[in-house]
C-alpha cells in the first residue's frame, strides 16, 4: 500500500522528519511518501497560516489521487484542511491531532498535550472537542518554541518539551500527546525522560491509516465527504476547479 504523508508547510526538513517517523513504524508492505506543497507558509502557527496552507495541501491530495495513493496523513497538529481533503480523497485521510488523541485515549483515563506556541492551544482544545476527547484532556501546555526552531539545539526545545510533558503527567494525565509534527523525532527521548507514554501523532496516524486500508476501509463518499461539486474558480485559485 502507498501512504502519503503531507506536511502542509513548505519546510522540507520537517517533511523529512515526518517521513522518517512514518517510515519507522510502517509495515513491510507499506510505501511511505512524505511530501509538502511548493506554495504556502514555512510553518503554521496561526489561523492565517493555517488557512493559507490548505490550498497547497489540497493540491498534494489531488496529486496523490492521480498517483493512486491508498491513504493520507495531514502532518500538522492543527489538522488543517482535513475535511476538504476527505472530499478529494478516496482512501482514509487522518490528521495527526486526531490520531494522537485516539491513541492517547487508549493509554489511560486522561491525557494532556504539549504544543509549540501558546497561541495554538485554543485550536488544540477545539480539535479535542470536535473529536470527542475534551472530557479526557487534562491540559494543553505550550513550550513556547516556534515550530522552525524545534530542531535548533540553541532553542533548548527538547529540554523544554520534557519539562512541559513532566508537568502534564504531574497534573494527573496518564499520557502526553506531542502537539507538533516537528516534535516527531523527540518522542522516544521524551517518553524515557518522563517515564510515561508520549504519543507522536505522525506515527499514530501511520499505523491507523495502515490498519484502515488493511481492513478495506475508505472515506465515506455518499454524504458530507462526497466529491465537491465542479465549479469555476478564478484568480490564483483558477486551477482548483479542475481538481475536484
Closer to ligand 5HY by Cβ: residue 62 or 114: 114
- Look at the block and give the residue holding cell 496561526: 46
Minimum distance of ligand 5HY from residue 22's CB (angstroms): 14
Identify the residue among 57, 76, 168, 209 touching ligand 5HY (CB under 6 A): 76
162 binds ligand 5HY (CB under 6 A): no
Q: Shortest gap between Cβ of 220 and ligand 5HY (angstroms)?
A: 26
Instruction: Report the residue number, 122 or 241, with the smaller CB distance to ligand 5HY.
Output: 122
Provide the minimum distance between the beta carbon of 116 and ligand 5HY in the complex, in angstroms, as a whole number: 4
Using CB under 6 A, which of 35, 54, 69, 147 touches ligand 5HY?
Answer: 147
Name the burial class of residue 163, with classes exposed (0-12), middle (13-18) and buried (19+) by CB atoms within 10 angstroms of its CB: middle
**Binding piece for ligand 5HY, criterion CB under 6 A, among 63-71, 76-84, 213-221, 233-241:** 76-84
Closer Cβ to ligand 5HY, 183 or 213, answer by number: 183
* Consecutive H or E run containing 192: helix 187-194
Distance CA 128, CA 105 (A): 11
| CA-based end-to-end distance of the chain | 23
Q: Please state, in angstroms and as integers, the Cα–Cα distance from residue 239 to each residue in 59, 85, 236, following that order.
A: 10, 16, 8
Interface positions, 203-232, toward ligand 5HY (CB under 6 A)? none
Closest C-alpha among 61, 63, 66 to residue 92:
61
User: From the list 21, 26, 44, 88, which residue makes contact with ligand 5HY (rule: CB under 6 A)?
Assistant: 44
- Nearest 5°: the CA angle 125, 158, 121 is 15
**Is the Cβ of residue 43 or residue 219 nearer to ligand 5HY in the bound state?**
43
DSSP 229: P
Q: Which stretch binds ligand 5HY (CB under 6 A): 43-51, 55-63, 98-106, 229-237?
A: 43-51
Which residue's CB is nearer to ligand 5HY, number 15 or number 191?
Answer: 15
Dihedral of CA atoms 229, 88, 241, 237 in degrees, nearest 10, equals: 130
Determine how many CB atoms are found less than 10 A away from the CB of residue 135: 9
User: Of residues 3, 74, 180, 187, which one binds ligand 5HY by CB under 6 A?
Assistant: 180
- Rounded Cα–Cα distance for residues 244 and 238 (Å): 12
Instruction: Tell me: does residue 59 bind ligand 5HY (CB under 6 A).
Output: no
Footprint on this chain of ligand 5HY (rule: CB under 6 A): 9, 43-45, 76-78, 115-117, 120, 147, 180-182
Amino acid at each position: 500500500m502507498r501512504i502519503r504523508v503531507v506536511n502542509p508547510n513548505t519546510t522540507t526538513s520537517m517533511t523529512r522528519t515526518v517521513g522518517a517517523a512514518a517510515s519507522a513504524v510502517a509495515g513491510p508492505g507499506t510505501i511511505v511518501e512524505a511530501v509538502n506543497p511548493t506554495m504556502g507558509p514555512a510553518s503554521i502557527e496561526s489561523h492565517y497560516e493555517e488557512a493559507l496552507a490548505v490550498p497547497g495541501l489540497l493540491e498534494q491530495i489531488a496529486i496523490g489521487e492521480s498517483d493512486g495513493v491508498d491513504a493520507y496523513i495531514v502532518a500538522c497538529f492543527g489538522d488543517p484542511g482535513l475535511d476538504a481533503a476527505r472530499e478529494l480523497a478516496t482512501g482514509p485521510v487522518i490528521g495527526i491531532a486526531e490520531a494522537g488523541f485516539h491513541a492517547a485515549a487508549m493509554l489511560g483515563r486522561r491525557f494532556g498535550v504539549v504544543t509549540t506556541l501558546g497561541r495554538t492551544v485554543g485550536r488544540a482544545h477545539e480539535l479535542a472537542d470536535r473529536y470527542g476527547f475534551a472530557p479526557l484532556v487534562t491540559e494543553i501546555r505550550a513550550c513556547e518554541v516556534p515550530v522552525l526552531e524545534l530542531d535548533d539545539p540553541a532553542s533548548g526545545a527538547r529540554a523544554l518539551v520534557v519539562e512541559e510533558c513532566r508537568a502534564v503527567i504531574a497534573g494527573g494525565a496518564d499520557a502526553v500527546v506531542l502537539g507538533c509534527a516537528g516534535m516527531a523525532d523527540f518522542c522516544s527521548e521524551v517518553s524515557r525522560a518522563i517515564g510515561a507514554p508520549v504519543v507522536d501523532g505522525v506515527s499514530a496516524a501511520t499505523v491507523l491509516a495502515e490498519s484502515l486500508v488493511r481492513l478495506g476501509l475508505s472515506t465515506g463518499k455518499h454524504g458530507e465527504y462526497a466529491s465537491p461539486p465542479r465549479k469555476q474558480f478564478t484568480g490564483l485559485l483558477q486551477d482548483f476547479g479542475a481538481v475536484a
